[in-house]
Structure 1
């Protein structure tokens, strides 16, 4: 949730954020009205309770007709307090419901617009010129004996798959390389739960506008996570952290599940857009004033991983209308996919400021010992989709694939993944 003080003291900033996202500005005025009603209800209830308390003292000292009159007034006050508390509860509920639906304030430098309105921050590397007709990732992986889409669909339905042989080894190599880099940079490695409670999923901002993407187990009232960001954000829920020594950094290894609602007909070939994949995700808790610098660090760590797989990529500043509910700013790193002649997202890093931590009750103590809301950030280090960029960019004419040098130690020293004849 955004800070209610920001809503009261700078509503124009909230309206501007809504415009950048392409969201309803009117929600800000509704929220302000609900906040005023809520605060008025609190004040009224507090005044009546104070009067009731004072009256109780007077009744204790009174006698005769005076006492009877005071008792009668006490009954009236009790009814008024009850009504005021009910009004306060209703006002609080309505305010909280709308407050939770309002997305995070976007960073002032975020470009306005939708999915196609991003700003390109830089290009790294040059797309390869092939002297043969390149194969796409599915043809390459099938030729390597690395994937089985047909049996994946038979067992689980469309957009599921088996990674087999070198495909499975390639994914494990990638994730192990990511985990090693994270550990070298002081991250605590975590293997996280795949199922979380509703309050954790809600707290991270993945219900509401994006709830159609989430798998829910209704009988258990649990949700399958689409990223380890969710359980990592909830790891310190309702805790006060010690951030005196700097940010707390975790790297979560998890399977991820996404319904991909509304994406039917897009990227249905291969493993670009699927319902289940594996990922290593960085997650940081820090002081709010440290969040922008930490965001730059997460992006740098992502780029170090991209350099290790030696693929051309670009970094984009995602437009406001394409931001998730929790993100104030998001940088995507997109690798070149030769057969599509397009850049496709491999990593994403988001600065969620205090939005998630406020909902989850994650705090730290400032220099005066006073609890304050922490900031949270996340960023991808490796995921199944990276296999697409690796095999397409490093393919050889015979359908085999050169292994990027940094990845070779994680694949038993192999330099080439040979085609299965």
Structure 2
């Protein structure tokens, strides 16, 4: 959730953020009203409780003959304290719901608007050109006997697939290359759970507007994660962590699941938009003062991967209306996909400031000795979708694919992926 002090002292800042997101600023007024009611209810409860404590001392010192009447008064006062406590709890719940409906306050400079209102930051690398008609990634994958959509659908339904042979090796190679780089950058590798409790999913902000994307197991009341960000954010929930040595960084390797409920038939061919995939996610816990600098570091590590894989890409500053509720700023890195003649998102990195940490109660101890919420950031360093851009970018006329030099050590030195039967 957002900082209640910011809500109380600078409501106009929060309203501008809501407007930039294309969301109602009236939610801010509703939260302010709920906050005032909550504080009044807490004050009333504390006043009555203090009165009860003082009256208890009076009863204790009273003469024996006066005690029956005083005890009756004490019981009446206790009932009022109990009722005030209940009212305080209800007011707290109303406030939590009201402030929880407000998205993270966007950082100054984030463009306003929706999906098409991003700001282009840079384009890197030359777009590949061919002296033959390029094949799309699925056709190449089938020539290599690397992608099997038909049997994926037979076994699990639409938008599931098998990666086979060099396809499986390619994914593992990309993931291991990312993991090696993450470790070199100081990340601790984690293989994370892919089922999480509702409070962890809620705490990371994934049960809001995009809840329909999430698979739920009602019998167990557990959620399948669409990114290891969820488990990584929950890793230190309800803890005070030590940031005296700098950021805590984790690289989470997991299988991910998404219902793709809102895709409306988009990208149904191949493995661009599927229900199950693997992903290596960077996750940082940092002092809020260092969050924007850490965001730039995450982005640089992502760009380094794409450059060394020989991919042409662009970096965009995502508009406020296209941010998830937790993100205060997000950069997308989109690779050029030749057969689509377009850039397609391969990875993103988000600065969630203290939004998730407030929900999950993750704090650090400041120089003053007091505790305060940390900032959390995330960014993908490798995922299944990268196979699309690699196959299409490095394809040859005969259907073979040149393996980028940086990736070869993770494929046992393999330099070219050859069509099966050749």
Q: TM-score range by the shorter chain?
A: over 0.9
Equivalences for residues 74-93 of structure 1 within 5 A: 74-93=74-93
Which residue is 1:103 aligned to?
103
CA distance in 1, matches of 2:109, 2:240: 31
Unaligned runs of 5+ in 2: none
Q: CA deviation at 1:39?
A: 0.3
CA distance in 2, matches of 1:193, 1:92: 32
Which residue is 1:369 aligned to?
369
Q: CA deviation at 1:234?
A: 0.8
CA distance in 2, matches of 1:78, 1:157: 61
CA distance in 2, matches of 1:404, 1:330: 28
Q: CA deviation at 1:131?
A: 1.2
1:13-45, CA deviations, whole angstroms, 9 ceiling, x for partnerless residues?
A: 110110011111111000000000000000001
Which residue is 2:411 aligned to?
411
Matched-pair contact (CA < 8 Å) for 2:27–2:101: no
Which residue is 1:245 aligned to?
245
CA distance in 2, matches of 1:64, 1:230: 62
Aligned residues: 421
Q: CA deviation at 1:62?
A: 2.0
Equivalences for residues 242-281 of structure 1 within 5 A: 242-281=242-281
Mapped pair 1:211 → 2:216: no
CA distance in 2, matches of 1:98, 1:269: 41
Which residue is 1:228 aligned to?
228
Which residue is 1:30 aligned to?
30
1:63-115, CA deviations, whole angstroms, 9 ceiling, x for partnerless residues?
A: 36754553343233223222211211111111112222221111111101111
CA distance in 1, matches of 2:91, 2:370: 28
CA distance in 2, matches of 1:310, 1:331: 20
Mapped pair 1:148 → 2:155: no
CA distance in 1, matches of 2:417, 2:92: 61
Q: CA deviation at 1:413?
A: 1.4
CA distance in 2, matches of 1:71, 1:218: 50
Equivalences for residues 19-418 of structure 1 within 5 A: 19-63=19-63, 66-418=66-418
Q: How big is the alpha-carbon RMSD for the aligned residues of Structure 1 and Structure 2?
A: 1.1
CA distance in 2, matches of 1:221, 1:129: 50
CA distance in 2, matches of 1:72, 1:364: 47
**Segment of structure 1 superposing worse, 403-412 or 74-83:** 74-83
Q: CA deviation at 1:192?
A: 0.8
Q: TM-score if structure 2 supplies the norm length?
A: 0.98
Unaligned runs of 5+ in 1: none
Q: CA deviation at 1:177?
A: 0.3
CA distance in 2, matches of 1:64, 1:177: 82
Q: TM-score if structure 1 supplies the norm length?
A: 0.98
CA distance in 2, matches of 1:246, 1:340: 42
1:360-400, CA deviations, whole angstroms, 9 ceiling, x for partnerless residues?
A: 11111111221111110000101000000001011111111
SS in 2 for 1:209: coil
SS in 2 for 1:205: coil
CA distance in 1, matches of 2:361, 2:397: 55
SS in 1 for 2:43: helix
